[in-house]
Amino acid sequence: MTRIPTYDDVAAAARRLQGQAHKTPVFTSRTADTQLGAQLYFKCENFQRMGAFKFRGGFNALSCFTTEQRKRGVLAFSSGNHAQAVALSARILGIPAAILMPQDAPALKVAATRGYGAEVILYDRYKEDREALGRKLAGERGMTLVPPYDHPDVIAGQGTSAKELFEEVGELDHLFVCVGGGGLISGCALAARALSPKCKVWGVEPAAGNDVQQSFAAGKRVKIEVPRTIADGAQTQSPGEITFEVIRSNVDGIFTATDEQLVECMKFYAERMKMIVEPTGCLSLAGAKASGLDLKGARVGIVISGGNIDLPRFAELVG
Ligand SMILES: *Cc1c(COP(=O)(O)O)cnc(C)c1O
């Protein structure tokens, strides 16, 4: 069994990220507080470097490489924020990077990844299995594969966002976190257990793809079809092996949000808080609203995971 990360790993990640990751702002909104009858604290990872929390995990994982690993380089497969996180971290640390991306990935994302100096290898997502291809390429080139969530150093890095939140605002009653493969919530839950032990930690998934909710209920990892949702950062089919272990013992429950509820939150963030938040980043607030939990008078943390969305797509969704 792979190593399960602890809060000490999160604290060590925070030291590695010092001066590299932004300490993202925590915002409040009277309007949101009134709607929920609670005091909300928004941890804004949409203002993290490269636009999402994934820089934290990527940079931490690459910082833990041995000299030999650094020389040979890193390989990642992703069409989204993890690709850019690994590419940027590799550039900062002087590590060669190759990123496997689907041929039909948005040109903008391919360009951004190349812009960070990474070699982009395109594959046909309908014909080739990216995990098999990734493993083959990594093997041939001696590169280290860094997965987007199911890795102790990635999880520890992601947890530094909640660590910063608790250190800034103190203990909370509830914390809502967006969930894809579960890396972010795993790290955040480890931070919560150490820094705010009574805080309930809730994950939020797209209603169209509740693999973690099903797994949580079943007590074992459940695999689903690729969910159709606008939350493209949370289209995972099952939780990771490590993330599921951490979630099972440190998370209180999983809620879901529909695409309509996500769009409503995108509008709210844009109109009232003057922020562009990508659909996946809206899961936490949408889930808090849809949870049915009595949040009256509670101190509630909302982790906004990222803000990367093309403007035309943003306009199409909120227009
Ligand atoms: C990757 C990602 C998620 C999901 O994170 P996991 O660690 O896979 O649960 C949520 N929001 C954004 C913006 C992401 O990029």
Residue located nearest, by CA, to atom 7 of ligand 1? 183
Q: Are 148 and 182 in contact (CB under 8 A)?
A: no
Instruction: Report the relative pairing of strands 253-257 and 200-206 from DSSP bridges.
Output: parallel
Coil/strand/helix, residue 149: coil
Residue located nearest, by CA, to atom 14 of ligand 1? 233
Coil/strand/helix, residue 155: helix
Q: What value does the mean pLDDT of the chain take?
A: 95
Confidence bin at 206 (pLDDT 50/70/90)? very high
Distance from residue 213's CA to the centre of ligand 1 (Å): 16
pLDDT number for residue 1: 56
Q: What percent of the chain has pLDDT over 70?
A: 100
Distance from residue 106's CA to the centre of ligand 1 (Å): 18
The number of the ligand 1 atom at minimal distance from the alpha carbon of 308 is 13
Coil/strand/helix, residue 44: strand
Q: What percent of the chain has pLDDT over 90?
A: 87
Sheet holding 174-178, edge to edge: 26-27, 39-44, 299-304, 174-178, 200-206, 253-257
Residue located nearest, by CA, to atom 2 of ligand 1? 233
Confidence bin at 252 (pLDDT 50/70/90)? very high
Token reading at 202: 């809730």
For the stretch 122-178, pLDDT in tens is: 998 788 888 889 999 999 999 999 999 999 999 999 999 999 999 999 999 999 999
For the stretch 262-289, pLDDT in tens is: 999 999 999 999 999 999 999 999 999 9
Range in 109-118, 215-224, 274-283 the model is least confident about:
109-118
Residue located nearest, by CA, to atom 13 of ligand 1? 306
Distance from residue 173's CA to the centre of ligand 1 (Å): 23
Distance CA 292, CA 19 (A): 39
| Residue carrying the six token digits 């014909």 | 127
| Site to substitute for ligand 1 among 24, 45, 46, 53, most atoms within 8 A of C-beta | 53
Pocket of ligand 1 (CB under 6 A): 52, 54, 80-81, 148-149, 178-185, 233-234, 278, 280-281, 305-306
Long-range contacts of 194-197 (CB under 8 A, 24+ apart): 194/7, 194/10, 195/162, 195/163, 195/166, 195/167, 195/171, 196/166, 196/170, 196/171, 196/172
Distance set, CA 118 to CA 86, 91, 109, 122 (Å): 9, 8, 12, 12
Averaged pLDDT for residues 15-40:
98
For the stretch 61-101, pLDDT in tens is: 999 999 999 999 999 988 789 999 999 999 999 999 999 99
Q: Which of 209, 212, 89 is nearest to 144 (CA)?
A: 89
Residue located nearest, by CA, to atom 1 of ligand 1? 233
Distance CA 190, CA 157 (A): 11
Distance from residue 152's CA to the centre of ligand 1 (Å): 16
For the chain, report the end-to-end CA distance as a whole number of angstroms: 48
Residue 206 CB neighbours (<10 A):
31
Q: List the catalytic residues.
A: 54, 79
Say which amino acid occupies 204: V
Name the pTM for this structure: 0.96
Distance from residue 304's CA to the centre of ligand 1 (Å): 10
Coil/strand/helix, residue 308: coil
pLDDT number for residue 292: 96
